[in-house]
Structure 1
Amino acid sequence: MTASAVRPFDPSRVAHLSGRFAPVTEEVDETCLAVEGELPGDLDGVYLRNGPNPRFTPIGSYLYPVDGDGMLHGVRFEQGRARYRNRFVRTPALLAEEKAGRALWGGIESLIMPGPDEVGPQLAHTLKDLPDINVVRHADRLLALAESACPYRMTPELETIGKETFDGALPAGITAHPKIDPLSGEMAVFCYALEPPYLTWSLIAASGAVVRGPTPVDGLDEPMMIHDMALTARYLVLVLAPVFFDLSAALSGGSLIDWRPEAGTRVALIPRDGSPVRWAQDDAFWLWHTVNAYDAEGDGPVVLQYVQWSRLSLGAQAEGEANRSHLMSAVIDPATGRMRRTPLDDARIEFPRIDDRRIGRRHRRVAVAADSGRTPGLLPGEFDALRWYDTGDAAVPSRTWQGGDLSVGEPAFAPSPGRADDREGYWLAFATDRTDTSSWLLVFPAEDPVTGPLARVRIPVRVPLGLHGTWLPTQE
């Protein structure tokens, strides 16, 4: 589609391109960051975060959080000091735009794709790679991850190496939320596509070798959007909310994304040994992110915890009474396909995280970004508090730290070296001050995080709000 065929687009009217979400273009190296408070001496490693950050003013459309170039922000801790570096994920499309000095591709709603006279035959009429959602490290590969496409491999210094196909075994790529089994080191991944097979899953060994190539999931007859997954000792857990892709509508000026609540939401339990998929179904709901999943006992039910929304909402659509969030726990019986959902909290929350060493096993503590209800005008995807739950207690108590003038991002857990308890370590989160747009990395004590941060690390550039990060310890 050409720019002339698209309805007028004014990026200045897109809320997620301004204020705390506004992109930054400066790449910075700062070796000695200012710190308020005192950094723990045993905090040794790097905290990395990825998120949508358009290099040039978008054309055609911009839909948060699925549009935008990737930018990695890294804060390295060593001996009580911190340093910072940020870099764009330089895909071939981004390099072509940098050469042109302007955006050449439109957002996913406009489907603007440049021709060969602008970008050459290899990139002409192709979709733009957008590895802007998440970042993980597995088998010594540091990967910037897209919604559902090939990730890009990065150096430890955050320079772009190139597209990662896992030695050609996964040419279609993976989604942005793989799960790494902390016991075996195996990474479970899935991928959805606009053409058959619409959904596949794969397994990558701790060595980095693909031990199960793309395996189709039967039961889909049209393309669907599936953002996250969970993992247990037995299963990959995929939640298929009724979000379908309608390419014909998009090409005629309509919406690419079609929410059909009458279809309900299905859950696929995919055995890691390759045996037949087990299915469960319930009324429609949307899920951006899982908390964790685990096998309750033997061959019995699967417990899945997640943040549930009543529907999909993108961009700056209102998230009031029509779209509520809940922290949920679902018990799914693989034998009967029955699913029982129980709300644990009805606060507006997102970005749930646990100690990643508990992935696929029972966990107790969950951290989330939360809306305290005290700050008017927060945009979708913006939060002013962090909240911690103890899901090991039947009452699921929560405790909240409210950030005052700070808008906070996803929390991530950094365990103390050599300690197995998730109360021994630190929670890390980027935050941006709404009064002056300064950005900070906050370091909370895991033992009692609601007492507030032990240290606030001043970041030399503003870090746009959203999306996902990871803690990479120097010693594993």
Structure 2
Amino acid sequence: MTTFAAQSFDPARVAHLSGRFAPVTAEVDEADLDVVGELPADLDGLFLRNGPNPRFSPIGSYLYPIDGDGMLHGVWISGGRARYRNRFVRTPAVVAEEQAGRALWGGLESMILPKTPDVSPELAGTFRDLPDINVVRHAGRLLALAESDCPFRMGPDLDTIGRETFGGVLPAGITAHPKIDPLTGEMLVFCYALEPPFLTWSVIGPTGTVIGGPTPVQGVDEPLMIHDMALTARFLVLVLAPAFFDIEAATSGGAMITWRPERGTRVALIPRDGGPVRWAHDEAFWLWHTVNAYDTVPGDGDVVLEYVQWAHLALGAPGQGERPNPGGLVRAVVDPFGGTMHRTQLDDSRIELPRIDDRLIGRQHRWIAVASGTGAVGLLPGEYDAIRWYDTEDGTGASLLWRAGDLSVGEPVFAPAPGDGSGGYWMTYATDRTDASSWLLVIPADAPSAGPVARVRIPVRVPLGLHGNWLPTEEHSLVP
């Protein structure tokens, strides 16, 4: 069914399809990139990021950051030199639209689905795959991840191999933020669905074989949206905010997701040993991204969860008269046995896209890096002009800040330096608001507020958002 909103949709009026967020269509290879400064000699690997990038001008609707085709942007670094390649994640929908030369699927809110003869009978009436949010590597597989669907496996030159179902065991897919336990090598995942079972979790072993699940999460009897998760040695941690799917309303021209604050927010602590789920309940809040979680006592105690909190779910650019959505960095302490939860706001700055050194996932961490806003005029939701670092051992809530000036920065990713594990670098893509040029920034972890030691010029603009990772050469074979 095509709604009135879909019929009147004008892509030119969508903020996240313009400016620094505007999609690019050129696929570029450049062997020797210009570097301002000096790339550290000990950096050897691939910086790779995925994000929403519609192949053709959208029809019907466009809802950032959920809609859009995936595009991978990769910079290979070795010996102080860098090279670049970007490629679309070529799902069946992207291939069909390339053959047609135009968009055939509408955005998620429009419910526009293609018919024959525009597409093959196998694709007629289907929803498009959207592996446009994150990209991870596990067991030698490079995976472009969707919000809650099958990932797409990518080849060493960023070509698309196809859907990854993990041997057919996870046909419904996973969500975009799995967590890899650095001690066990296991990748823990979850998946939400519009039909029962509404929420499941699974364990993928170090070799890529599913060794647990999919296991339904008991106590979830409605479809709801969950974007991220956290991990401790004992638990998979899921935050169930009151963002419920309403497909009936969507097919009638209403909102696809409704916010019901009266339901509150629940936290599920799912024992990794298969025991019963432990629940805690609090007033309503939303989170896009967790920072990390850990047990206060090894194998015991409370669970500490740090995350970026928002007052409610908001998608796309704010509309006129939309209510404020304050947020900030929050630490929650959850009692697995008493079901209580105590939240402390550590900072109320405008921040998002938090990352730590991923080698500390599930254990207590020290440094948190986030993209941050400085109050500059004209920045859209999801656009930031600084990077902030919190020292969790400081105890005062103070932070270090690097102001990026005319640059809009993305998610900061930690790249460990080889050796004893004490050093490393923070890396992110950034786009200059004055000339639309894009750069890869390399910032030393031991003096981050001094800013980049190297800026690598990217030959194509990299649209802002969303997620990626650093893949050291010794741990992958993805250099083309």
Give the TM-score normalised by the residue count of structure 1.
0.98
Question: What pairs with 1:334-413 in structure 2 (closer than 5 Å)?
Answer: 334-373=336-375, 375-413=376-414
Find the counterpart in structure 2 of residue 141 from structure 1: 141
Give yes or no for contact 1:179–1:189 (8 Å, CA) kept in 2.
yes
Map of 1:323 onto structure 2: 325
Cα separation, 2, equivalents of 1:363 and 1:201: 25
**CA distance in 1: counterparts of 2:81 and 2:6, whole angstroms:** 50
1:197-235 Cα distance to aligned partner (Å, 9 max, x none) = 000000000011100121001112210000000000000
How far 1:475 moved relative to its partner?
1.4
In the alignment, the residues of structure 1 paired with residue 219 and residue 110 of structure 2 have an alpha-carbon distance, to the nearest angstrom, of 30
- Residue 171 of structure 1 and its aligned partner are, at CA, apart by 0.4
In the other structure, the counterpart of 2:267 is 267
Indicate the residue corresponding to 2:18 in structure 1.
18
SS of equivalent residue, structure 1 residue 170: coil
Between the aligned partners of 2:116 and 2:279, the Cα distance in structure 1 is 45
Task: Give how far 1:396 is off.
Answer: 2.8
Partner SS, residue 117 of structure 2: helix
Aligned to 1:425: 424
Paired residues for 1:42-441 under 5 Å: 42-297=42-297, 298-317=299-318, 322-373=324-375, 375-421=376-422, 424-441=423-440
Distance (whole Å) between structure 1 residues aligned to residue 281 and residue 7 of structure 2: 39
Cα distance, 1:299 vs. partner? 2.1
1:223–1:3 Cα change, 3 Å: closer
1:154 and 1:336 map into 2 onto residues whose CA distance is 44
Quote the Cα distance in structure 1 between the aligned partners of 2:288 and 2:60: 25
Aligned-residue CA RMSD in angstroms?
A: 1.2
Deviation at 1:392, TM superposition (A): 1.7
Letter in 2 for 1:347: S
Assess if the C-alpha contact under 8 Å between 1:417 and 1:475 holds in 2.
no
Indicate conservation of the 8 Å contact 2:5/2:60, yes or no: no
Rounded Cα–Cα distance in structure 2 between residues aligned with 1:364 and 1:321: 34
- The CA distance in 2 between the partners of 1:203 and 1:412, in whole Å, is 24
Give the secondary structure class of the aligned counterpart of 1:16: helix
SS of equivalent residue, structure 1 residue 39 = coil
Q: How far is 1:2 from its partner?
A: 4.5
Contact map agreement 2:6 2:59 (CA 8 A) in 1 = no
Counterpart code for 2:438:
S
State the alpha-carbon separation in 1 of the partners of residues 28 and 365 from structure 2. 38
CA deviation string 1:400-448 (max 9, x = no partner): 0000000000000000012322xx1110010000000000000001101
Q: Say which SS state the counterpart of residue 267 (structure 1) adopts.
A: strand
Following the alignment from structure 1 to structure 2, what is the Cα–Cα distance between the partners of residues 299 and 441? Answer: 41
Q: State the 1:4 CA deviation.
A: 8.1
8 Å Cα contact 2:3-2:253 kept in structure 1: no
1:36 aligns with 2:51: no
- Partners of 1:141 and 1:178 in 2: CA distance: 14
Counterpart secondary structure, 2:123: coil
Equivalent residue letter for 1:398: S
Deviation at 1:397, TM superposition (A): 1.9
- SS of residue matched to 1:116: coil
1:250 aligned counterpart, secondary structure: helix
For 2:343 and 2:233, how far apart are their aligned partners in 1?
21
SS for the counterpart of 2:97 is helix
Please give the alpha-carbon distance, in whole angstroms, between the structure 1 residues aligned to 2:88 and 2:414.
24
Q: Give the superposition deviation at 1:117.
A: 1.9
Query: Could you tell me whether the CA contact under 8 Å between 2:186 and 2:204 is conserved in 1?
Result: yes
Q: Take 1:223 and 1:115, find their aligned partners in 2: how far apart are those partners?
A: 27
Kindly state the Cα deviation for residue 156 of structure 1 after the two structures are TM-superposed.
1.6
Could you tell me how far apart the structure 1 residues matched to 2:234 and 2:157 are? 36
CA distance in 2, matches of 1:12, 1:276: 50
Instruction: Summarize deviations over 1:363-397 as a string: whole Å, max 9, x none.
Output: 00000000012x10110000000000001222132
Letter in 1 for 2:411: E
Helix, strand or coil at the partner of 1:97 = helix
- Alpha-carbon separation, structure 1, partners of 2:210 and 2:79: 37
Amino acid at match of 2:315: L
For the 8 Å contact 1:57–1:103, the answer to whether it is kept is yes
Q: Secondary structure at 1:189's aligned position in 2?
A: strand
Preserved contact between residue 182 and residue 358 of structure 1 (Cα < 8 Å)? yes
Percent identity, aligned pairs only, is 72
Q: Deviation of residue 115 (structure 1)?
A: 1.1
The residue type equivalent to 2:432 in the other structure is D
Residue 262 of structure 1 aligns to a residue in which SS?
helix
Q: For 2:182, what is the secondary structure of its paired residue? A: coil
How many angstroms apart in 1 are the aligned matches of 2:186 and 2:469?
Answer: 17
- Please name the residue that 1:456 is paired with: 455
How far apart, in 1, do the equivalents of 2:197 and 2:410 lie? 35
Matched, 1:473 2:472: yes
Structure 2 length as normaliser, TM-score?
Answer: 0.97
CA contact (8 A) 2:374 2:385 kept: yes
Asked if the contact 1:2/1:113 (under 8 Å) is kept, the reply is no
CA drift at 1:7? 3.4
Assess if the C-alpha contact under 8 Å between 1:411 and 1:428 holds in 2: yes
Deviations 1:230-288 (A, max 9, x none): 00000000000000000000000101010000000000000001110000000000000
Q: Which amino acid aligns with 1:339?
A: M
Specify the code of the residue in structure 2 equivalent to 1:366: I
Q: Structure 2: how far apart are the matches of 1:175 and 1:112?
A: 23
Is the 1:2–1:114 contact (alpha carbons within 8 Å) kept by the matching residues of 2? no
Q: Measure how far apart 1:123 and its partner are.
A: 0.7
Task: Say whether the 8 Å CA contact 2:4–2:253 is kept in structure 1.
Answer: no
Residues 414, 470 of structure 2: 8 Å contact kept = yes
Q: Which amino acid counterpart does residue 368 of structure 1 have in structure 2? A: V
